[in-house]
Amino acid sequence: MKAFVVDRYGKNGNTLRAGDVPEPAVGEHDVLVQVHAAGVNALDSKIRDGEFKLFLPYRPPFVLGDDVAGVVVRAGARVREFKPGDEVYARPDKDRIGTFAEFIAVHEDDLALKPKRLTMEEAASLPLVGLTAWQALIELAHLRKGQKVFIQAGSGGVGTFAIQLAKHLGATVATTTSTANVDLVERLGADIVIDYRKDDFEAILHDYDVVLHSLDSEALKKSLRILKPGGKLISLSGPPDPDFAREMGKPWILRPATRVLSHGIRTAAKRRHVDYSFLFMRAGGAQLREITSLVDAGVIEPVVDRVFPFDATNEAMAYVDKGRAKGKVVVTVRRS
């Protein structure tokens, strides 16, 4: 099958190789999905560039890609929830990525039926960012009606989803974006929109319950200062903490390093009586089913910036690398 492969880690113009690779093996609890569309994420670039090679088990050459929407073509012997012909979507488990390909095998626990009202391209835009927002705001933050949440980079992939989810939960939502995207984040439900090119969010926001952080270390420090005591600072961009090492299943290897990396922010958070946590989202079919319900009810709308043909996967990644996409970027692998 055709796929886009990481042959070596490296920055400075490193690209994926388009080539033929064997069709994936299908275990007894796996579902073989014919890929119709694949979402493109900043995470893909970080993996390609080797930023996670200490944490994740990929050994080049491997197929890249973390979001998929497609059709079931074969189910393992012990699969009960899915059958050939089902339209599905998923963020495969971190150990089994590879959606930039014509086929991928996904464990049934990580899969969900695709929202009926979405195209394959729209569905492929949702799993990674949707699960990230869900696990941050619902699992970690326990966000509830009447609370205040600051979602950084509101026009990005996670931001566009998280704003809508937070509003559904009844929170007051503040976000940052550029002048060009103010109308977009307001349409999604943001109550307070800060143009980061004109204003400093620390001068405007005070006594927040939750911050969903995805920017740089300076914004991380400022985020601490806008939280009220008992607030929660959830970071998607680091630094990783010891809990992350535990969740990755490598506590003895990673825990000392993550303890050092996150010492400063954890100490500062404790001093301000704020909870700090680093989130590296995980796959989850049950949560995707909850997301499907919200999408089919019209609560969540996907935001897709551009759709590229499969042959242009490297161009799609280069576009994402510029950091200016509104919502998500998707590649079409097979026309529906």
Tens-place pLDDT, residues 177-228 = 999 999 999 999 999 999 999 999 999 999 999 999 999 999 999 999 999 9
Do 137 and 117 fall within a single domain?
no
Tens-place pLDDT, residues 156-168 = 999 999 999 999 9
Q: What is the secondary structure of 304-316 as a DSSP string?
A: EEEEEEGGGHHHH
Do 142 and 274 fall within a single domain?
yes
Domain containing residue 197: 129-278
Q: How far apart are CA 19 and CA 302, in angstroms?
A: 31
- Reading the block at residue 314, the tokens are 């490297």
In a domain, 198, yes or no: yes
Tens-place pLDDT, residues 115-140 = 999 999 999 999 999 999 999 999 99
At 79 the pLDDT is 98
Do 155 and 240 fall within a single domain?
yes
Do 182 and 210 fall within a single domain?
yes
In a domain, 29, yes or no: yes
Q: What is the pTM of this model?
A: 0.96
Do 143 and 265 fall within a single domain?
yes
Residue 37's H or E segment, with its range, is strand 30-40
Do 263 and 188 fall within a single domain?
yes
Tens-place pLDDT, residues 10-32 = 887 789 999 999 999 999 999 99
Mean pLDDT value of segment 284-297? 98
Do 202 and 92 fall within a single domain?
no
Do 91 and 213 fall within a single domain?
no
Do 153 and 118 fall within a single domain?
no
List helix spans (H) across the chain: 42-49, 120-124, 127-134, 157-168, 182-188, 201-204, 217-226, 242-247, 251-261, 263-271, 285-296, 313-321
Looking at the predicted structure, is the pLDDT value of residue 291 above 70? yes
251 pLDDT tier (thresholds 50, 70, 90): low
Q: How far apart are CA 108 and CA 75, in angstroms?
A: 9
Which CATH number belongs to the domain containing residue 17 in this structure?
3.90.180.10
At 53 the pLDDT is 85
Do 150 and 39 fall within a single domain?
no
Looking at the predicted structure, is the pLDDT value of residue 313 above 80? yes
In a domain, 320, yes or no: yes
Tens-place pLDDT, residues 64-117 = 999 999 999 999 999 999 999 999 999 999 999 999 999 999 999 999 999 999
Q: How far apart are CA 217 and CA 204, in angstroms?
A: 19
Looking at the predicted structure, is the pLDDT value of residue 246 above 90? no
Do 34 and 64 fall within a single domain?
yes
In a domain, 236, yes or no: yes
Looking at the predicted structure, is the pLDDT value of residue 44 above 90? yes
Q: What percent of the chain has pLDDT over 70?
A: 99
How many domains, in total, are found in the chain? 2
Tens-place pLDDT, residues 45-65 = 999 999 888 788 799 999 999
Residues in CB range of 270: below 8 A, 6 or more apart: none
In a domain, 161, yes or no: yes
Q: How far apart are CA 43 and CA 319, in angstroms?
A: 13
In a domain, 87, yes or no: yes
> Given the DSSP bridges, would you call strands 68-75 and 87-90 parallel, antiparallel or unpaired?
antiparallel
Residues in CB range of 184: below 8 A, 6 or more apart: 155, 160, 177, 303, 326
Distances from the Cα of 196 to the Cα of 163, 203, 238, angstroms: 17, 12, 21
Looking at the predicted structure, is the pLDDT value of residue 280 above 80? yes
Picking from 262, 278, 294, the residue at the C-terminal end of a domain is 278
In a domain, 26, yes or no: yes
Do 147 and 240 fall within a single domain?
yes
Which CATH number belongs to the domain containing residue 237 in this structure?
3.40.50.720
Using omega within 30 degrees of 0 as the cis cutoff, is the peptide bond preceding 309 cis?
Answer: no
In a domain, 110, yes or no: yes
- Reading the block at residue 157, the tokens are 């992939």
Give buried/exposed letters for 311-335 (b at 16+ CB in 10 A, else e). Answer: eebbebbebbeeeebbbbbbbbbee
